[in-house]
Structure 1
Amino acid sequence: MATDTGGGGGPCGEPELSDSLRTFGAVLKALRDEARLTQEQFAPLVRYSVAYIAKIEQGKRFPPRDLLDRSEEVLGATAARVLVAAAGSLTRKAGLASWFLQWAAIEEDTTSLHAYECRVIPGLLQPEPYIQALFERHLPPLTQEQSERQVTARLARQRLLLDRPNTTFSFIFEQALLERRLGGTPVMDSLLDHLLAVGRYRNVEIQVMPLVQEDHAGFEGEMYLAETADHRWVGYVEGHGSSTLISDAKAASHMLQRYGKMRSQALSHHATRSLLEQMRGGL
């Protein structure tokens, strides 16, 4: 398992650097300076925290789409056009490891994506505090710069959920991952709030596999499945220090059968929401 670990999980490896993120950050800083605004003055005007604006300008965060519209209100139409042009060079795959780029490209053009995780919450569902908690526990330890690049890459990929409203996303993960309370109460607060929010998206279905499930079809471990634009299914799995893209139609079909069985064994989307709300109230 390396670097961004597919849709899933824990950190390993070293992501590639993103010059495009640094360039966008430098352009934003230059336009802010031209408007004679400090970060402390600019941030509340675009309704983001000072720390978040600082990370964008440093090339450590993928700029959210709302920032472009809000910047026009503050910096003017000409500056906004410059920012839009700079944003055009950005890609969600910036900062991802080279070995992962093939699956990331499939994600970008999928019509359906299924994910089952028994290790950590799927990467597309992880809020920033949870991602940071994962990288803080990485062995061997990461430098602050390495950790920041990892966080940036994973948060950028999560824009898929909003940028592809016609793609259906289905997630199943083990209840044990919530009971574990990785990172402590503040991290779990953030995680549960985030799962409840993302679960409201019309194209996202989240299901929890209960702690006790005697007829569990996922005993072979985590897996990811994507339906391509030409309606072929491909699979993706990861292990310790390795990853495999599964393009063989028969093997992908077997994975799809297992995933379908798990959807019937896990809590429904509605029941999962009730569980998440119950856990959130109990923290």
Structure 2
Amino acid sequence: MIQRRSPTIRRRRLGAELRKYRESARVTIDVVADRLGCSPSKVSRIETGHTSATPRDVKDMLDIYGVEGAASEELVQIAREARQKGWWHPYSTVLVGAYVGLEAAASSVRAYEQQVIPGLLQSEEYAAAMIQAARSGDTQMEINRRVHVRMARQSLLIQDDPIDLWVVLDEAVLSRPVGGDEVMRDQLVRLVEVAKLPNVTLQVLPFAAGAHAGMDGTFAILDFPDDQDPAVVYAENATGGLFLEKSDELQKYGSIFDTIQATALTPEASTEMIEMLAEEPLWKLRPRVSGSI
């Protein structure tokens, strides 16, 4: 079972606190780097949560900022926790970015997807077919490892303290037979089953909705249980995705999601549609085309 305490989120919290104390002390990154005997880029990466810091480095940084006592001890402890390895660490060679670590610590995820079934809802066969098509240069071992990670992530939905997942799927996702007829039918049946979980809300945005607020692309909004860990938006792309954390960015994407989910079918109507497509899939009704336009 995946543990919700994630070193990724601890590293993010640590960096934000260190940056706050540095700015309050009116100390520049260059000064900190000079005192620590390291590069300014290392200090910057620590503050943005992209790299971990040793407890010794954290203590030295806090000494520079004049932070002592309980506040200092707490951050040094967070530094220790941030250096622990997450369950996904053995698969770091096939993972891009910090998304899995953030997801593991999230209390809720709100996602809009316009191309594929989200990883938390994929069947093993669908995941394998999708990854193989999208990453044709990967070896079979790499594909198998990616599928294994994707399946392991799904325990977040059924553990004792499960994540709340709210997904809006574009109808196009349900109309593309990834892996072929049998694999896609089984995937649709899986969606219906997972949608019965009390912590999962699934909606379909039908073609009939026409133009809509989410046409700029796929994204996920991750919220965390601790108020000290602000939400983050993950906008996915072929190179791993972009993390957005500014308040105006969070507000914009929250508004987009609210508009999308209000435009989509209700969860009940969405489930009925998915059940119907599992019986009479759209890809069976459309002629196959080949060649280029």
TM-score, reference length from structure 1: 0.64
Corresponding residue to 1:217 among 190, 208, 213: 213
Q: Highest CA radius of gyration, 1 or 2?
A: 2
Alignment of 1:187-266 (within 5 A): 187-231=183-227, 232-266=230-264
Equivalent-residue separation in structure 1 for 2:209 and 2:93 (angstroms): 36
1:231-283 deviation per Cα after TM superposition (whole angstroms, max 9, x unaligned): 43210112232421111121111101100110101111101110011112225
Equivalent-residue separation in structure 2 for 1:118 and 1:274 (angstroms): 19
2:146 maps to which residue? 150
Matched-pair contact (CA < 8 Å) for 2:91–2:149: yes
AA aligned opposite 2:221:
L
CA positional deviation for 1:102? 2.7
Q: Is the partner of 1:160 in helix, strand or coil?
A: helix
AA aligned opposite 1:112:
S
State whether structure 2 residue 283 is matched by structure 1 residue 282.
no
Query: Which sections of structure 1, spanning at least 5 residues, go unmatched?
Result: 1-88
1:71-119 deviation per Cα after TM superposition (whole angstroms, max 9, x unaligned): xxxxxxxxxxxxxxxxxx9825642458645322221222221111112
State whether structure 2 residue 101 is matched by structure 1 residue 105.
yes
AA aligned opposite 2:113:
E
Q: Is the partner of 1:217 in helix, strand or coil?
A: coil
AA aligned opposite 1:132:
A
Which structure has more relative contact order (CA 8 Å, sep 6+)? It is 1
Matched-pair contact (CA < 8 Å) for 2:86–2:101: no
Alignment of 1:31-110 (within 5 A): 91-92=87-88, 94-96=90-92, 100=96, 102-110=98-106
When residues 167 and 143 of structure 1 are mapped into structure 2, their CA distance, relative to the original with a 3 A threshold, is closer
When residues 238 and 97 of structure 1 are mapped into structure 2, their CA distance, relative to the original with a 3 A threshold, is farther
Equivalent-residue separation in structure 2 for 1:137 and 1:203 (angstroms): 31
1:169 maps to which residue? 165
1:73 maps to which residue? none
When residues 136 and 98 of structure 1 are mapped into structure 2, their CA distance, relative to the original with a 3 A threshold, is closer
More helix by share: 2
Matched-pair contact (CA < 8 Å) for 2:94–2:145: no
1:32 maps to which residue? none
1:134 maps to which residue? 130
Equivalent-residue separation in structure 2 for 1:270 and 1:97 (angstroms): 40
Q: Is the partner of 1:221 in helix, strand or coil?
A: coil
CA positional deviation for 1:138? 3.4
TM-score, reference length from structure 2: 0.62
1:95-154 deviation per Cα after TM superposition (whole angstroms, max 9, x unaligned): 245864532222122222111111211111110110111123134332221111111011
CA positional deviation for 1:191? 0.4
Equivalent-residue separation in structure 2 for 1:153 and 1:167 (angstroms): 17
Equivalent-residue separation in structure 2 for 1:189 and 1:146 (angstroms): 26
AA aligned opposite 1:254:
K
Moved over 4 A (4+): 96-101
Matched-pair contact (CA < 8 Å) for 1:92–1:157: no
Q: Is the partner of 2:226 in helix, strand or coil?
A: coil
Root mean square deviation, CA, Å: 2.1
Matched-pair contact (CA < 8 Å) for 1:110–1:167: yes
- Give the percent of matched residue pairs that are identical in Structure 1 and Structure 2: 27
When residues 155 and 94 of structure 1 are mapped into structure 2, their CA distance, relative to the original with a 3 A threshold, is farther
